[in-house]
Amino acid sequence: MNQESVHEDDDDRTTAELLVTLDSDYRKCYQHVIRQLNLADKTSDGQILADTDFEARQLIRTAFAYIEGATFVLKTEATFNAEEKNVELTAQQQHFIFEADFEINDKGQVKQKAAKIPLVKNILFAFSVFAEANRLQYKLDTNARWWTLMLSSIRVRDRLMHPRTPSDLDVTPEETVAMIEAKVGFDEELHALLSASKAQTDL
């Protein structure tokens, strides 16, 4: 198969398929973790005695792959929705939607490069720009429990991605549960925003 045909095949695949695949990966990891936790012994004070580090690391990685994928899809959908609803997004917003930045090279030419957007800011921007593009009165509640758990889970993810000591790879049951709750909260917020957009369109 040549390179051109590979790109043609990719063009036929949708962002919905991307999210379904990423969510499926997460759910498989989730099932493995829950099975391990349910089979684990517990101490008299309720502490779980289970070696779930491998499964937990996989769960956290797949959860954030899904969250990052969903965040990008939400931003690109904002572009299409804004065009349909005659909402004018700024050039700066468009740059961050497609995660593009610019620099001047040694020849004085302007070159595009990938923008480095911290995940927290990217999520906040994605929800905000999608709401704006769909004329929705909406603001992400950063005081919600799931959001706090998301922030703590990001620190765990960063530790796993950039380990310095063996203990950096350890994931406690509490950290695993926090990731699960954060993923559930993210999904609920995402679906609520998408449903609000659809309801407005159906009016």
Residue 106 lies in a domain: no
Supply the range of the domain harboring residue 61. 13-86+118-202
Residue segments in the chain with a per-residue pLDDT below the cut of 50: 1-9
Residue 12 pLDDT? 57
Q: Which long-range contacts (CB under 8 A, 24 or more apart) does 187-196 make?
A: 188/146, 189/127, 189/140, 189/144, 189/146, 190/70, 190/74, 193/74, 193/127, 193/130, 193/131, 193/136, 193/138, 196/134, 196/136, 196/138
Residue 163 lies in a domain: yes
Do 40 and 11 meet the contact criterion of CB atoms below 8 Å apart? no
Residue 3 lies in a domain: no
CA distance 184 to 43: 28
Residue 135 lies in a domain: yes
Residue 78 lies in a domain: yes
Residue 46 pLDDT? 62
Going by C-alpha positions, the residue among 185, 160, 173 that lies closest to residue 70 is: 185
| Domain count for the chain | 1
